[in-house]
Structure 1
């Protein structure tokens, strides 16, 4: 885990999965954003929120390479520390993510970028699934159910949010279609 940025002003948070549709914190601004150098991938076995160690689910992580379209939330300075504490409690239950500060580009003005808090998958963690086949992804997403609910619902809600943003992730969309068929 890294220390919070030395900036004591407003906090920007980059969301690429469930934080897009269920942030759980108060934001004063929500903008479409793009992170370069990492991509959204179903590459994390979920042992808590969408699965258990005995029956893991599969959730998204930011994995290295490519780029990712998501949401950048701006949090008021007076809510900064409270929001970071909340995110650590939510995202770092098993420490599968590395807390990092990255530049993200805001879609409303491609020349505008902000430094945002991101959660990048730790490839050395036991929950790092790497690149799984479509059949393996479907298996884990069908079986997964944890503290935050069914893995199936997580994938479908994420795809619905991406669609609302005008983003199509072919693999995730196909998976969501298969999961809706259940």
Structure 2
């Protein structure tokens, strides 16, 4: 069981290379959360997941489809402290999440009923093991003008790694200084901006943050 848990932990490291901290009830808690979410589904058939960060380019390999989508009522926010992967305990960076208010343009990923349970469980473990995110049901407007129910993951403000100050100046200072085994935290921001551009999307918050990081880099090298 110890070896199985260790393999599971490493396989489910989040997109920043952070390995979840397991407790005896971690998997039980995750499975209960997923079961409850699936029980509340109002429409049978395909399951949609709204990706606004790494899921835009790291979507499930068994996804049945994907397209641009808009989520109203939530906005991108680098409001979670990052202490592994592209950050460290001594120089923590920031991780992207969603917070209430505004609008987010991202990618809706369609999971077929046959593959949904397996794919969602892996995603649940990745997102919920450390407790910094919570899953929510939302409605997203697809590029083909349909509106569909979807699942996404938002910041858990009660978590000790939640950072209330997520304005560009505060985030840029942390992200610019953060570096870990996977590289610099700033690379995450630039990769997100590139993914948005590649999909014909934009986010003013991400653009402003990326530009501030480039400005800081120019000054550091001057």
Q: Which TM-score applies when normalising by structure 1?
A: 0.86
Structure 1 residues 50 and 24, CA, compared in 2 at 3 Å: closer, same or farther? farther
- 1:5-154 matches, cutoff 5 A: 5-6=38-39, 7=41, 9-109=45-145, 112-146=146-180, 149-154=183-188
Q: 1 or 2, which has the higher strand percentage? A: 1
Superposed displacement of residue 92, structure 1: 2.2
Q: Which runs of 4+ in 1 moved over 6 A?
A: none
Q: Are 1:55 and 1:144, in contact at CA under 8 Å, matched by a contact in 2?
A: yes
Q: Are 1:50 and 1:59, in contact at CA under 8 Å, matched by a contact in 2?
A: no
Distance in 1, matches of 2:141 and 2:167, equals 31
Superposed displacement of residue 180, structure 1: 4.3
Q: 1 or 2, which has the higher helix percentage? A: 2
Does 2:203 align with 1:169? yes
Structure 1 residues 146 and 81, CA, compared in 2 at 3 Å: closer, same or farther? farther
Equivalent position SS for 1:39: strand
Equivalent position SS for 1:5: helix
Which protein has the larger Cα radius of gyration, Structure 1 or Structure 2? Answer: 2
Structure 1 residues 149 and 94, CA, compared in 2 at 3 Å: closer, same or farther? farther
RMSD of aligned residue pairs (Cα, Å): 2.1
Instruction: Specify every segment of 5 or more residues in structure 2 that has no aligned partner in the other structure, as ranges.
Output: 1-29, 218-222
Q: Are 1:39 and 1:66, in contact at CA under 8 Å, matched by a contact in 2?
A: yes
- Residue by residue over 1:24-64, the C-alpha shift from the partner in whole angstroms, topping out at 9 and shown as x without a partner, is 44211111111111111121112344323332211211100
- Higher RCO (Cα < 8 Å, 6 or more apart): 1
Q: Are 2:76 and 2:205, in contact at CA under 8 Å, matched by a contact in 1?
A: no
Aligned length in residues: 180
Structure 1 residues 49 and 77, CA, compared in 2 at 3 Å: closer, same or farther? farther
